[in-house]
Amino acid sequence: MMVDIKQDQGFIIEQIYDPISLHTLASLGYTNITPNLDNGEIESISIIEFAHLIDPPISCPNCSTPSAEGSDSRLFTPSLVIKSASGQCSYLCVSCWGHTKIPSFGIYSQGEDVS
């Protein structure tokens, strides 16, 4: 689902392709868009959640770091899971800064084959 881009969104558009900037903007609630990891188009975010709150627990598909690793520290920075308007699910990891497609997560995976 393509997003209509307004002229004042140019700065945000440039930033969402960088995983660190996307994490900062999304964590602070400054963006509601994410790149489609297949074709690079911009999509609306339907759902965004801190990865360590997902049940069953998930890990980064790139570096295999568990999402809750370090969550007992006051300096903990959580990874994010994102579901876009088109249904694409992705994991934005703070350990390796990878932004990777994943199968549906948590309650959104009920009734789906996630193997």
Of all residues in the chain, what percent carry a pLDDT higher than 70?
Answer: 83
Distances (CA, A) of 93 to 2, 97, 112, 113: 25, 5, 23, 23
Mean pLDDT throughout 88-98?
94
Tell me which H or E stretch contains 43.
Answer: strand 42-50
What is the reported pLDDT for 83?
A: 93
DSSP string across 50-103: EGGG-SS--B-TTT--BTTTTTTSTT----EEEEETT--EEEE-TTT--EEEE-
Query: Within its chain, how far is the Cα of 24 from the centroid?
Result: 11
Residue 115: pLDDT band by 50, 70, 90 thresholds?
A: very low
- β pairing state of 80-84 and 89-92: antiparallel
**Of 81, 9, 4, the residue nearest 49 (C-alpha):** 81
Residue 65 pLDDT exceeds 60: yes
Residue 18 pLDDT exceeds 60: yes
Where do the structural domains in the chain lie, given as residue ranges?
Answer: 7-109
Which tens digits make up the pLDDT trace of 23-44? 999 988 888 899 999 998 999 9
What is the reported pLDDT for 3?
A: 54
- Do the Cβ atoms of 2 and 43 come closer than 8 Å? yes
Residue 97 pLDDT exceeds 70: yes
Our CA dihedral for 45, 46, 50, 52, rounded to 10 degrees, sits at -130
